[in-house]
Amino acid sequence: MKAVVFEDVGLAGIHDRAVPSFGAGEVLVKVAATGICGTDRAILLGDFPARRGVVLGHEAVGAVAAVGAGVSSVAPGDRVVINPTYHCDRCRPCRRGMPAHCGAKAGREVGVDRDGTMADFAVVPERFVHRLPASVSYRRGALVEPLACVLNNLTAARLRWDDQVLVVGAGPIGTLCALVLAWRGARVALAERDPGRVALARLLLPRTVRVLAAQEAAGADTPDVVIDTTGSLPGDVLGAVAAGGTVVVMGEKEAGLATVPLRALVTRGIRLAGAGPYRPADFELAVALARELPLEALVTHVLPLERYAEALAMLAVAPAGPGRSKPEGYSAMKVLLASDESLVP
């Protein structure tokens, strides 16, 4: 089978791999498509540690090809989405109800240190395979995993009905945050520096979302909640949020640091929150909400696996190789790599 493999920082390649074998309790998924995530970018840019030789990708949809002994919740032919955030259920965090912070993740991180889904097939333990509702296309279902991330972070924001929310960064995650918040009826503004992404966000999002070019953000309503998806928390955000407000740090970078004005934190009662990975329940909620949310609006490109380098270039990453030019900046929102293009019209 074909697979997109992480060779080294700045280096990926399409490799011929054996279809992975599966055992009891496991499901062989024929992958339809995988969304390219910030994590895949970060791995290639050297901003996120990953095992060399690993198959990249974790935001995947597909159909069950075969099941191992004892698998009862899915059957061959079922359309499914993969929850790539594995947990063991045995360690202390898992037993204390925090499986997102499972202490036994080594070797279990899909597309990081365990083979991922940018391939024709992937093997997944049964409990991390979820059936897609009949009304949810693969194109939409590929956004279920990022939606789970967003739901988890919006939970950490502890939103109130009258909150004014500012989302910083109009990448797929920021745009998805704004989409969910608008759907919930929240007052939401989205700030972004990249002019291409400002234009895309304006096109994709409901009119109720104010999309601000970054320099306009200063003139926006004072936010009660800021969701920062950029990985470079602007230093002035804590001063800009309303008293009693919350700043959720959703984006981060390897060795990323921020300077926090402690007085604002203390005297104005600002809460600075991180959510961590999503919980299994967030993923299940994301599958259910996919029935209603037009997630596919974020998908601007679908390319076959073989064109992975072109796809990455649209996201401002240039893995080395012949005939590849240096990308200028973002020219896409969510890009899917299709293992089978006919399934993702």
Which residues are at the interface with Zn ion (CB under 5 A)? 37, 87-88, 91, 94, 102, 104
Q: How far is the CB of 219 from Zn ion (least distance, A)?
A: 33
Nearer to Zn ion, 34 or 246 (CB): 34
What lies within 8 Å, CB to CB, of 247 at 6+ separation is: 225, 226, 228, 233, 237, 238, 241, 270, 271, 272, 273
State how far the Cα of 311 lies from the Cα of 306, in Å rounded to an integer: 10
State how far the Cα of 332 lies from the Cα of 321, in Å rounded to an integer: 21
Q: How far is the CB of 39 from Zn ion (least distance, A)?
A: 5
Structure tokens at 189: 């503004």
Nearer to Zn ion, 9 or 88 (CB): 88
Nearer to Zn ion, 89 or 221 (CB): 89
Q: How far is the CB of 102 from Zn ion (least distance, A)?
A: 3
Task: Give, in degrees to the nearest 5, the angle at Cα 307 between 302 and 308.
Answer: 85
Q: How far is the CB of 29 from Zn ion (least distance, A)?
A: 17
Nearer to Zn ion, 97 or 345 (CB): 97
Residues in the chain: 345
What are the DSSP calls for 163-229, one per residue?
-EEEEE--SHHHHHHHHHHHHTT-EEEEEES-HHHHHHHHHHS-TTSEEEEGGGGGGSPPPSEEEE-
Structure tokens at 261: 């004005």
Q: How far is the CB of 103 from Zn ion (least distance, A)?
A: 5
Nearer to Zn ion, 3 or 241 (CB): 3
Q: How far is the CB of 59 from Zn ion (least distance, A)?
A: 5
DSSP character at residue 99:
G
Nearer to Zn ion, 94 or 240 (CB): 94
